[in-house]
Each structure stands twice: as C-alpha cells, then as structure tokens.
Chain A
Amino acid sequence: MKILVTVKRVEDYESKIKVKPDNTWIVTEGVNYRANPFDEIAVEEALRLRDANMPSEVVAVSIGSGTAQAEIRSALAMGADRGILVKHDGFLDSDAVARILVKVVEKEKPDLILMGKQAVDVDDNVCGQLLAEYLGYGQATFASKKESLESAEEKAKKPGLKLGADKKTMQVVREVDGGVETLELQLPAVVTVDLRLNIPRYASLPNIMKAKKKPIEEIAPGVDVSPKVKVVKVEAPPARAAGVKVPDVATLVQKLHDEAKVV
C-alpha cells in the first residue's frame, strides 16, 4: 500500500502569536515552527498502517518555502520513507494547496491520502475535502477510533483505520456531532484525522540520523496558485475586560445573581 501524508509547517502553538502593527499578518520573528499537530497524527497513522501491511510505503509531502524541508525531515525521522517538497514562497490558500495536491496524487497514485483535519495556523478545515472532491474520491473527515488514547489498543500502537481484507476498502470511525459514525471507503480515498486517532511517536536519535539520508524530491506547484480567498487584514481579537477573584462560593453566587444576573 502506498500512503501519501501531508505535513504543513505552522507556527508552534506554544509560541506567542501577535498581530503585526500594520495589520497585514502576524509577527513571525521569534516564533518557532513545527509540523501541524494534526499532521503528526496523520504521519503516525500512516506508519502504523504501513507496518501492519508490508510491503507499503509512506510518502510525506509539504507545500511551502524551502524551510518546510524541516517538517518533511521530522516526518522522515518518525519513519516515513521519502519526502516531496512542492516549493512555493508566499501565501497559498487552501484551495491552491488542494489543487497542487491533485498533481502530486496524479504522479504518485497513492492508495490512501492522510491529512490533518485542520492546519492550526489558518484553521480552515477544508483542504482534505477539497482534494477529495477534485479527485472524485470518497472521504472520511475527523477520523478517530472507538478506543480511548489510554486504551490497550493505543498502547499496542494498533492502527485505528482498518484496511479491508481485500485491501481495497478501509473502515474509518469519525467524530461527528452527537456521536461517532463508521464509514467504509473505497480506496483510493482521503482521510483527515482528528485528535483521538493516536498519540504520535517521538523520533529517536538514530532515526533522526537515518532521516538525513532519506530522499526529498523538490517540485514546482504546476498549477495556477492565485488565491480564491485572500487575507486582506489581520487584527488582534477583542480583549476581555479583567474580572475579579471572589473569596468564597457565597460571594460568587451573590455576584452571579445580583451583578451578572445569570442565575
């Protein structure tokens, strides 16, 4: 099985994010970068699926400037076999990313495309669905599993996505409003992952060394990347007025009743 997994370079969620004074973007100086956390979950799942279904291959793809090499390397250090960097400097909207990925899929012909449900920079949550539609594939968004992240299944690092015996279908449990749904996808298909699918592994030092030798191919977008959705302004969110500390429950209830009038 060949699995294509996407890895976006994003601002580290532990870095302080501030809006630029000219309201064009956020301040990027002093900010750390890393792979989108959802994409790490996608990589982990790809590796588990590969190892449970050998021979298989995991290809990590990122779209961005040369610096995104680092996030491909971290996927390779986790265990992915090779990387593809689609090189483009500057802003790309999620639609352009999806159309670039169509080209990569046409070239690589993977059986499964694993992505994060959302990139935690733009918080779009659209790329996987767009890609699935452009390819005419089935999709399962918000992939999860029934067992918790503290279950024996997770400790045993079992894949949460279940490949059918004929290797042509895949069962996916997904998080939806009001419960969990199970779908069966005909492969090839697009799956976007949610937080409860797995706990991604850390790369070991030997694997980080090994990853340095794994190949990363660099290609051009090959599509018109002019955005359908442009960012015209970025502002700081409205601040909440500072509140007060109350000494005890009685005072809290009195304030909620008399001041806030909510109980």
Chain B
Amino acid sequence: MATILVVGEQAHGQLKKATLNALTAAQQLAQKNGGQIHGVVVGGAGEELAQFVQNVHFVQNAQFEHALAETHAAAVAEAAKKIGATDVVIAATAYGKDIAPRVAAKLGAGIASDVLAVVSANQFKRAMWAGNAIATVEVTTPVKVITVRTTEFPVAQKAGSPGQAQQLEVAAPQAKTKFLEFNEVKSARPELTEASVVVSGGRGTKGDFKPIEQLADVLGAAVGASRAVVDAGWQPNDLQVGQTGKVVAPKLYIAAGISGAIQHLAGMKGSKTIVAINKDPEAPIFQVADYGLVADLFKALPELSEEVKKLK
C-alpha cells in the first residue's frame, strides 16, 4: 500500500491551482497502487488544501515565510517521514523544481521530474530532448519523488466532505540562504499556464506587443512569448513558452511572428487548436498549426481582433 504525499504550493496564504493538477497525478498513483493520500503545505493554505485531501499537514511559522528551498524541502521531508510516505508528488512549477530534488536527497529517493503520465506504481513518462522523445522511466528506490507537468493532469475536484488540517511542528534548519526581495510582475490577464486561450508573440513583433495584447484582451487570453522576445527584454521572463520556459496546453494557442523552433514547440505542442500567423510560408510553426495564415501580423492581428469582436 502506498502512502502518497502531495505537496501544496501557496502564495500569500492562497493555494495555487497547480497543486490540484499534482493531486490528480497523486490520485492516479493511488489507483495503481492502492493507498492513501496526504497533503502538506508550507506557509499556510492548510484549510484550503483540506477541501481536497483528507489528511493535511501544514507548517506555519515565521521561519518558513519565504519559500527557501533549504527550509521548505526540510519541512516537506519531515512530513514525508512522519507519515511514512512512499511517494511525494509536487507540481513542476518553479517552486516544485526548486525544492523537489532536495526532498528526494533527504529521503534517499529517486526523482522523476516533469512527469507526463503515470504508467504504473514506479514507471512514469517524461519528455526528453526538447520533446523529441518520450521516455518511460522507472524509479527503483522504495521512496519516490515525482514532479508533474500540470498541463497533463486535470484539476482535482473537491472532496465530498472536507478533511482535517493539522499543524506540523518542524524546526526550520539554519538556512544558508537569505531572501532579499521579490519583484512581482503584475498583470490583469489570466496566468499563462492556466489560461484557456494564449496569444504569443515572437521576434516578428519587433518588440511591439500591442497587437498581441489587443487580441489577447478581446479573447480573454494570456500573453506568451518566444525566447527571442524575452532575451531582448521586450517581455518578462515568465512569459517564455518552451522547453526551458512554461509549458502550456490551452484550448487555443495563437503564435504570431514565431518561427517554431523545436524548443518553442516543446512548450505548446499539446494545445488543442494551434493557429500560426507568419509572413514566411516556410516557417516550421506551420507544421504543427491546425490553421496557418501567411500574413503580416501587424495587419492580420488587428483584423482578427475586429472579427472576433463582431462574433461576441
């Protein structure tokens, strides 16, 4: 029997939605193994997680205020030891990627990262070589840690009756890292990884994102970008879609002025419908696009915005 610990992620005391994608992966694992799911969340949001998971352990004291990998990994590992966890499941967000390997090291566990599918109790699918290959990996250790690609697992539903959230007393280790500041990029648009429509711009925008943003607002979409755009400082780093950026899988992905390098495709190939707008008919993006339009984005996008408005 497995004892699965799903790790919650929170910001300002509110549970992040990615946690619920990770929970679905944990539930799939429980189905393969038979077993129980516990939750742990460091820094608050214990009650909120207990809406979804029966047994929740939360760590809330000033020493854990900032999400330092050293302290948060220690708290998660403590919770895992306390319940005798056989599996620890975390969403592969920046937070999850930062802490999960440290949790694995503390537990002597093997780690499978950015998992796409649960094959069996100890086998998982994951992408390698920028998604050019899908590997099935086997974790051979008694305790396993996995981080999961959120786009591959739907959001879990609330439990029939809320569970119990109990405080876990852990002493924070003396951290060798100090938090100095966080510069938040605020946006009124939906979050990239959660949006059902994404409009992305590439180098073809030459840094002018107005037509991209206008269309995004008409569609209620999130804005994304290629690496070229983010490297140039035209858009913030956390809008980068791709192998080494965010992975998205919206209902509709519109790529404008993006050539379609394999590293970009790795982050959006899973979208349901893909539209490409590029003035080069040979651009590789057209090979993955359901609908391709060979056009100048500065002409096509405003037209598109107008046409969509007419529909609404």
Judge whether B288 and A130 touch: CB under 8 Å: no
Secondary structure at the B interface, as helix, strand, loop or mixed, is: mixed
Judge whether B123 and A232 touch: CB under 8 Å: yes
Residues of B within 8 A of A132 (CB): 69, 102
Q: Which of A78-86, A142-150, A202-210 contacts B (4 or more CB under 8 A)?
A: A142-150
Judge whether B101 and A185 touch: CB under 8 Å: no
Judge whether B233 and A253 touch: CB under 8 Å: no
A108 within 8 A of B: no
Q: Which of B44-52, B55-63, B237-245 contacts A (4 or more CB under 8 A)?
A: B237-245
Judge whether A26 and B137 touch: CB under 8 Å: no
Which of A133, A184, A234, A248 has the largest count of B CB atoms less than 10 A from its CB?
A133
Residues of B within 8 A of A19 (CB): 132-133
**A262: which of B105, B243, B272 is its contact (CB, 8 Å)?**
B272
Which of B137, B180, B236 has the largest count of A CB atoms less than 10 A from its CB?
B137
Residues of B within 8 A of A176 (CB): 94-95, 98, 182, 238
Judge whether B290 and A260 touch: CB under 8 Å: yes
Judge whether A139 and B70 touch: CB under 8 Å: yes
Judge whether B128 and A228 touch: CB under 8 Å: no
A residues 161-182 near B (Cβ < 8 Å) are 171, 175-182
Q: Which of B29-37, B138-146, B158-166 contacts A (4 or more CB under 8 A)?
A: B138-146
The number of chain B residues with a CB under 8 A from chain A is 89
Q: CA A126 – CA B273 in complex, angstroms?
A: 32
The number of chain A residues with a CB under 8 A from chain B is 85
Q: CA A185 – CA B98 in complex, angstroms?
A: 15
- Whether A228 touches B137, Cβ cut-off 8 Å, given contacts A144-B237, A243-B291, is no
Judge whether B178 and A151 touch: CB under 8 Å: no
Chain B residues packing against A (C-beta within 8 Å): 11, 68-70, 73, 93-95, 97-102, 104-106, 109-114, 123, 126-141, 175-185, 197, 219, 227, 230-233, 236-238, 243-244, 251-252, 262-263, 269, 272-275, 281, 286-295, 300, 303-304, 307-308, 311
Top-5 shortest CB links A-B: A148-B233, A228-B110, A138-B176, A129-B101, A133-B105
21 contacts between A and B (CB under 8 A): A17-B130, A17-B132, A19-B133, A123-B128, A124-B113, A128-B101, A133-B101, A138-B176, A138-B177, A148-B231, A148-B232, A176-B94, A176-B98, A176-B182, A176-B238, A178-B185, A185-B177, A234-B135, A237-B133, A250-B307, A253-B308
Chain A residues packing against B (C-beta within 8 Å): 11, 13, 17-19, 26, 38, 93-95, 98, 117-118, 120-130, 132-134, 137-142, 144, 146-151, 171, 175-186, 189, 194-196, 227-237, 240, 242-246, 248-250, 252-253, 255-257, 260, 262-263
